[in-house]
Structure 1
Amino acid sequence: MVEDDLRERVARFVTAEVMPCEPVLDAGGPAAAAALGGLRDRARAEGLWALPLPRELGGGGLPLRAYAALAEAEGASDHGPAALGSAPLLDVTMLSRHTGPRVRAEHLRDLVAGRTRSCFAMTEPDVPGTDPTLTATRAERLAGGGWLVTGRKWFTSGAADAGLVTVLARTGGAPGDRAGLSLLLVPTRSPGFRVVRELPVFGASGQYEIALDRVEVPGDQLLGEPGAALAVVGERLQLGRVLRCLRWLGQAQRAFDLLCHRAATRAGSQGPLGDHQLVQQHVFDALLALRTTRPLVHEAVALIDAGRDARTEVGLAKVAAARMLQRVTDSAIQIHGAAGLGPDTPLPALFRTGRAARVLDGPDELHITSVARRVLRGYGTGAAGPG
């Protein structure tokens, strides 16, 4: 099948081209930028560039459900989506659906081509990230129809290299109101925009705190209707979370492969590690976690691709995939022993991703309570379940 061939080609590219560059890419700076540029050129040459992005914008045009298997292969490396041009899928989708013709014409092709990067700024210092209605960033309407944005955001992924940032701000109402929140597309070159500091996550780079000091934004750079941001945010978060789950599956598969290779090839005085029942228990538990999580994630993908409500399925998948990645990687580290703690394998980075995944993009507790309440409401109305 064509999709199977594409998946195999993507997997080979990530393994042979991207993974060997990970130390340079992780370090950042000019050397990382040069390495990433070279990877992107090779991805284009091999016909693997931007596979899930719209064909009319220069992408491969794959629908979400067809892309899902490729996303696992890409996601085996944190740098896979950027190297293969699929990283802007979420922002391109949101801008395509919720902005006007001028904004789409100005930005979409640059995003798909990799000439511009984008990021999303929602959470703020000292504001509970699980309650966006308490957003303190404000946008005031200007006489000419534009907006003046003031506030501070943090844990904004990739802000230092982004040309555009989508900012959640209050344009009306009071803190706690669901109405009155809007999304604005802010060019990072705008006067008053500033990267305050990097926020390493367990020592890894990529997250930033940003400040907006009376940043002027054109009036047509809203996503959706003024004051109705939460509907767009909900749509964005569903798609974003399921994309991350797919990538976590790819990273967990990578950790599982390392676990099994170590168990099968490492021998002690009593024979191969894999002959020990406790090691076999790690293999079994890791495989069970992978095999039971994958269907949950792909069920959420199918619902989103069909345009159906996937909130319950995404919540289940997000919690399961984050836990699964942490569990599988932990087993792989245990079987590697001291070697699993050092710089010679990707296991510390994979474990860090798994642990951070249980907090970032909605902590486990948020998804657990949201799913449980939705299920119980279904029973409370006399239905047989949540629907």
Structure 2
Amino acid sequence: MNLLNLMDDQDLILNLSPGPSALPHDVVKQLRDFLNSRLETGSSLIEISHRSSEFKAAHTRIKDLLRRLLLIPDDYTMLFLQGGARAHTSAIPMNFMTTQAKLPVYLNSGVWSALAAQEAKRYGDIETYSVPGVLPIERLNDADYCHYVNNETIDGIYWDKLPKLSHRRVICDMTSSLLSCSIPWSRLGCIYASSQKYLGLPGVTLVILDRKWLARITPMPQTPSTLNYQQQDQSDSLFNTPTNISWLTALWVLEWIESKGGLTYCVNNATHCAQLLYTFLDQSQFYQATVESHLRSKVNIVFKTRNVQSDQDCADYLAQKGVIGVKGHSLKGGLRASLYSTITPELIHVFIEHLKAFEEQYDAI
């Protein structure tokens, strides 16, 4: 079979965007059919109240699936909020920055962790340390909380070597890693992730919290009620009207993931896809992976060609072939392929064939 015909055969656009990511085809069909369906009330679920029994049943199902797929301990609660992960870089200091006697520690591994630290400084003093690097364990043990981003979407860096601390006041932004790795719950008190990479459509921010820590915090008086984690937990994430369609799409995506084999499938699939692409890049004389091997993300693969112009030409060529979202972030340039749950080894082979075809065309000029 000609791999370059695979997308035509299946009428596919290969979406390698860093977000929003591609939905599973089964979910796209569900979404299309669902928008045309009606309940006995005459309304679809996206039109009915979030207080209704139908919506609450979907809410319960989402929580059950997440707890099972992510192996979330019973003493952790789940919140489904709005604002994206970017809003929660503000919500976190407003909820957890309890005393300036013990400053929070922010670990800087790339663009998103630096932006989180920058936002936290609006609410109080913090300490920052660059990773990878030597970390002052005593200082981390004494911190109000520690914040880090384990997968830097823009930089293409994965770092998750935080040493074991004497507490679980550790917060991790897992927006771009949520279903690509196992989660070390024994070391984490809170994770958060916006939905547009692993849970479907934008519009939901998942926050998972240690209940005991949540009970002890004292949110700042200026914390908006919609971003007050205690308030939202007490109202089961229904303090304000949710984005129904994003919640329901998340439900279908989670059901699809479970049908494929759950977290084990996602982790193995991400690992295999990344290995295929990195192997090609490392063997190429035209393309170059730009991150040191021990720090490489297996989700966001950043690379470049011979120069800035050929990077742009490559992105344009790929877009013409139906491969979208490959142009690198404006802060970093180059190229980037994001390999979320719907990307399979077969599609990586297709992508590599397109990269080879562009190289041949470029060298022939």
TM-score, normalised with respect to structure 1 = 0.26
Higher relative contact order (CA 8 A, sep 6+): 2
More helix by percentage = 1
TM-score, normalised with respect to structure 2 = 0.27
